[in-house]
Amino acid sequence: MRVSQLFTKTSKSAPADEVSQNAQLLIRAGFIHKEMAGVYDYLPLGKAVLNNIIQIIREEIDGIGGSEISLTALQQKDAWEASGRWSDDVIDVWFKTKLASGSELGLAPTHEEPLTNLMKNFIHSYKDLPAYPYQFQIKFRNELRSKSGLMRGREFWMKDLYSFSRNQAQHDAFYEKITDVYLHIYDRLGLGSSTYKTFASGGSFAKYSHEFQTVSPVGEDTIYVHEGKKLAINEEVFNDDVLADLGIDRSELVEKKAVEVGNIFTLGTKFSDALDLNFTDEDGTSKKVFMGSYGIGPSRLMGLIAEHFADEKGLVWPVNVAPAKVYLVRIGNEAAVAHADELYEELQAKGITVLYDDRDVRPGEKFADAELIGVPYRVTVSDRLIESGEYEYTERVNGETKLLTREQLLAKLS
């Protein structure tokens, strides 16, 4: 994309009421716009990052048999009354509204109830199990306070996957598999080395649930990390009982700040009991479907990645997530224009995404924008360099700059 055609602009300041570092940076760099606390619009660069995150998650979930669907935000109360979660005392983040006819509706903060209801149309026999529907959907949560930018939104993107299994054994096999898939997702997002499977409190059907926590100075959760076993314990269940369970000594653990970037739950028959989701097993008996739920928040991940990797000059995107791979800076007149135009076309033809700064502004402004926007590789074409047949190549992550021939440049970027 040409920067001249991008309608957004960078800015030296964020709104005065914006206290979170991720939102401040993303607003200044033109990725998002703030509608109100916890409610952000995605502008072209931000939409590109969000799409990249979503596509990585989609590929991984499709790879283990997920079926993508899209459930509605508007919810009637019946199913939620059946599960006991319609009351604002039980789910305290409901947004409620009304149909023109007067019936009360809610805006879904999660989707266990409507999906369990829906699956009653399709699950009758053990042959219909397992099933793994999932979606990327906008969730609404009426948080009293929302001061963490994209990391705790009132309207935000969630990947929610649900498993419907014949019994605990079929469930457990999937639960193990999804753990590996989640770790692979964080790897691809650039967070792998600092993300830990973390033991957290369970429910009626499992002693533990599991979170995925990324160790970060910007974290709000406290976890206890076992580096050797690459796992952690959330402080909410950090006690002798749990340590004994896991065969870990307190001295092997290090307390760290972390951000929750995903969670997986064994729901058991909680919702199939409440909503009567049954199937006939091979032996002819009627049984309740055994369920699990698996969340990852793409918008929260975008906020975390923004804040976690940022430096004093601005954003620093991992390459798989970046809105473009290359920021192409053009300095000079006709020769530089022709040369940069041609390189832009060639890189795009090779499938390399480029943000091409074709504006007539000072070089310093282009360099500052390149750093604030945080694209991984900056390439500069200038009148002076054309003469020597070279390109200036700079890595955003460490600022290292080299002069490369065209052949070297293309090898680096491919």
Contact set with a copy of itself (CB under 8 A): 5-9, 11, 30, 33, 35-36, 39-44, 47, 50, 65, 67-76, 93, 95-101, 105, 107, 114, 118-119, 121-123, 128, 131-133, 138, 140, 142-144, 154-155, 164
User: Shortest Cβ distance from residue 403 to a copy of itself (Å)?
Assistant: 33
User: Shortest Cβ distance from residue 125 to a copy of itself (Å)?
Assistant: 11
Dihedral-angle region of residue 318 (phi above 0 means left; psi in -120 to 50 means alpha; beta otherwise): beta
Nearer to a copy of itself, 136 or 367 (CB): 136
The answer to whether 26 touches 32, Cβ cutoff 8 Å, is yes
Separation CA 189–CA 266 (nearest Å)? 25
Identify residue 312 by its one-letter amino acid code: E
User: Shortest Cβ distance from residue 40 to a copy of itself (Å)?
Assistant: 7
Nearer to a copy of itself, 155 or 260 (CB): 155
Distance, C-alpha 324 to centroid of its chain: 17
Nearer to a copy of itself, 76 or 168 (CB): 76
H-assigned helices in 267-362: 270-275, 298-309, 334-349
Q: What is the DSSP string of 120-174?
A: TTT--BGGG--B-EEEEEEEE---S---SGGGS-SEEEEEEEEEEESSHHHHHHH
Nearer to a copy of itself, 142 or 353 (CB): 142
Nearer to a copy of itself, 5 or 251 (CB): 5
Nearer to a copy of itself, 238 or 271 (CB): 271
Distances (CA, A) of 401 to 300, 307, 391: 32, 24, 10
Place of tokens 């033109």: 30
Separation CA 272–CA 295 (nearest Å)? 19
Nearer to a copy of itself, 33 or 287 (CB): 33
The answer to whether 347 touches 315, Cβ cutoff 8 Å, is no
Separation CA 345–CA 366 (nearest Å)? 20
User: Shortest Cβ distance from residue 222 to a copy of itself (Å)?
Assistant: 26
Distance, C-alpha 97 to centroid of its chain: 28
User: Shortest Cβ distance from residue 309 to a copy of itself (Å)?
Assistant: 23
User: Shortest Cβ distance from residue 50 to a copy of itself (Å)?
Assistant: 8
User: Shortest Cβ distance from residue 44 to a copy of itself (Å)?
Assistant: 4
